[in-house]
Chain A
Amino acid sequence: MSTYRYSEQSQPPDAKQITDVAIERFDEVFEVDPKLMSAHVVQQVFPNWDTLRIVASRHDHLDWMHRHWAEKVVSGQRLLDELED
């Protein structure tokens, strides 16, 4: 179990510039560059755990959607590998 520390949770990891308009703070979680959110839509302070929770719940939702439509998902990579063999 890890201890919850407010200071850690309210300090997001340093941003990596991905393109001139998008950044990445957590692996595979992309955000609009904050400098573009300074006039009309201002960014809120967001605890790290909440960002990760929203991302995880989106993934849960997408997994649910696959199961909702079909029993299983066929891997495109597998079919491509077969073609290339």
Chain B
Amino acid sequence: MTIAPELAEPVLEELRQVLGDEHVLTGKAARFNRARVPAPFPVHRWAERVPDLVVLPGSTAEVSEVVRIANAHRIPIVPRDGGTGLTDGAVPLRHGIVVDVKRMNDIKEIDEVNRTCTVGTGINMLKLNEVLGKYGLIYPDDPASYPCSLVGGRIGTSGWSLIGSRYGHSRDLVLSFDFVLPSGKVIHLGDGAGHKLSKSSSGYQLKHLFMGHQGTLGIATEATLKLFPKPEAELSPFFAFPDYDSAYRTVGQLARAGVATFAGAVLFDEWKVDYLRRDDEAYISQPADVRALVCAVAYGYEDEVIAGGRRLMRIAKENGARYLGDEVSEGDWAARHDRYATPLHGRTKAGQVVPMSWHCEDAAINYSNLPQVRIEWHEIVRKLRERFDMFDDWGMFTYTSANTGVDYLAEIDVGIWEQQLDDESWAAWVQAKKDIAAVALHYGGSISACHGSCREGEVDLVPQELGGGYDVMLDVKRAIDPNNIMNPGKYGLDRAYQLDEGVGR
């Protein structure tokens, strides 16, 4: 127990006073359900990650009180929102208190004049957009976990959006937020003295520092978000190619075309096409000579989507694309917002279907390096599968991140038969993750474009990616959280507290 037995009752009593009995959960179901996230892990070690208790605060003031109590008693605290993060951010590695912010899900203001809304960070984007739609507005943060990830988790991870090439990603869309520091003190982060600026030049740009920290610096409780007109029209053509090279060329040209309504494009490589042919995720009927796929998406007013769409279709046609038809195109795009529908099974080497969890290794990679990264990543997974029949290569997607085509989110999906994992195969997987991350860095990329890089394996290479910036990260962590109560054990930040002992850096 991280809450010493002699402390447990008094602490519980203090928390109940603040939150009410029903919002302090000590039962097994409440705790075990918040021990993990969807990323696979050796389930025989589940008990290592179970929190001592779960609290469900209803306001910034309550979060602040909870954090103050935890800090006073030096109890680890882990913020948790949708629990969909794929880098174990919301996993309580040192047990302690999980602060589940889902009750804080109200819409406090919709400002139609300045085009913003202010929400509790426990709200989900889909639910928010159902309300905003009535005003003809949309909050276009669109991860493939759209129906189940929440605004606070988007802040905690500095998330990536499928349509970010048109609208920006979480860091562009979140204007400002209220934030509880590890002392319990509440500050407001964002540009300007109010809540609604998108650009200032005053002082340090703290908003970015307090996004993507995986809950290691504190808890965001209320956020002001940038809104757009709800698009009048959507276009999502889906094209087939006889080889990877022509699909790769096409995706690059689509992204570089400078079409204003272009919101994103996705390239499916040969391995992904084979995976789809197995019907493990979705079966797309296609001739045997199809080796790669590209889908593109555009949003805006109908006239501008049609004008931009003509250009996108021409580019694809000139590159030898075969259009897969409206039904497949539209159906596949609608399914991209919700990849939880993945059936979650894979294959043994003999081809038998086995239950598997999905693991997504993502990286940020420049366009020119994508082909080589792809070859090296598949080779790493091939070697792993050769040794252990519990890993399966589910292929790669590459998604545009920006409207100029500069960088892409490259993702290799690996199926893992979790129930079969033992210490040896887990160690091999951790090494493979490290190798995958090393390839991304070798080609000048980042270990993650999307959900962060604090799982075993990849986390070891974060100092290499950030260089001297990692030392600054250690200094910031120690200055803001002197007792290391905020999500301890993540990002190797324990080193920040060992500096005096000559360990660290």
B195 sits at the interface (CB 8 A): no
With A21-B351, A75-B326 in contact, do A41 and B285 touch (Cβ < 8 Å)? no
Q: Is the Cβ of B354 less than 8 Å from the Cβ of A62?
A: no
Q: Mark A57-85, 1 if CB is under 8 A from B, else 0.
A: 01101110110111111111101101100
- In the complex, residue of chain A having the shortest beta-carbon distance to the beta carbon of B316: A80
- In the complex, residue of chain A having the shortest beta-carbon distance to the beta carbon of B277: A19
Smallest CB–CB gap between A32 and chain B, Å?
A: 5
Q: Is the Cβ of B317 less than 8 Å from the Cβ of A65?
A: no
Interface residues of B (CB under 8 A from A): 126, 129-130, 133, 138, 230-238, 277-280, 283, 285, 299, 302, 305-306, 309-310, 313-314, 317, 323, 325-326, 329-331, 334-335, 337-338, 341, 345, 347-348, 351-355
- In the complex, residue of chain A having the shortest beta-carbon distance to the beta carbon of B130: A68
Q: How many A-B residue pairs have CB under 8 A?
A: 116
Q: Is the Cβ of A83 less than 8 Å from the Cβ of B313?
A: yes
Q: Is the Cβ of B354 less than 8 Å from the Cβ of A21?
A: no
Smallest CB–CB gap between A10 and chain B, Å?
A: 22
Q: Is the Cβ of B277 less than 8 Å from the Cβ of A22?
A: yes
Q: Is the Cβ of A65 less than 8 Å from the Cβ of B233?
A: no
Q: Is the Cβ of B230 less than 8 Å from the Cβ of A40?
A: no
A65 to B238, CA, bound (A): 17
Q: Which residues of B contact A30 (CB under 8 A)?
A: 279, 283, 285
| Dominant secondary structure at the A interface | mixed
Some 27 contacts from A to B, beta carbons below 8 A apart, are A18-B283, A21-B351, A22-B277, A32-B353, A36-B347, A40-B353, A40-B354, A41-B353, A41-B354, A58-B341, A59-B331, A62-B331, A68-B129, A69-B230, A70-B232, A71-B230, A72-B232, A72-B233, A73-B235, A73-B330, A74-B234, A76-B323, A76-B329, A77-B323, A77-B326, A79-B235, A80-B323
Q: Is the Cβ of A66 less than 8 Å from the Cβ of B306?
A: no
Q: Which residues of B contact A21 (CB under 8 A)?
A: 277-279, 351
A21 to B334, CA, bound (A): 26
Q: Which residues of B contact A63 (CB under 8 A)?
A: 334
Interface residues of A (CB under 8 A from B): 18-19, 21-22, 28, 30-32, 36-41, 58-59, 61-63, 65-66, 68-77, 79-80, 82-83
Cross-chain contact of A68 among B133, B232, B354 (Cβ < 8 A): B133
- In the complex, residue of chain B having the shortest beta-carbon distance to the beta carbon of A68: B129
Known: A18-B283, A76-B323. 8 other contacts (CB 8 A): A21-B277, A36-B352, A40-B354, A62-B331, A62-B335, A65-B338, A69-B299, A74-B306
With A18-B285, A66-B234 in contact, do A74 and B309 touch (Cβ < 8 Å)? yes
With A40-B352, A72-B302, A79-B306 in contact, do A62 and B278 touch (Cβ < 8 Å)? no
Smallest CB–CB gap between B391 and chain A, Å?
A: 15
- In the complex, residue of chain B having the shortest beta-carbon distance to the beta carbon of A77: B326
A62 to B167, CA, bound (A): 22
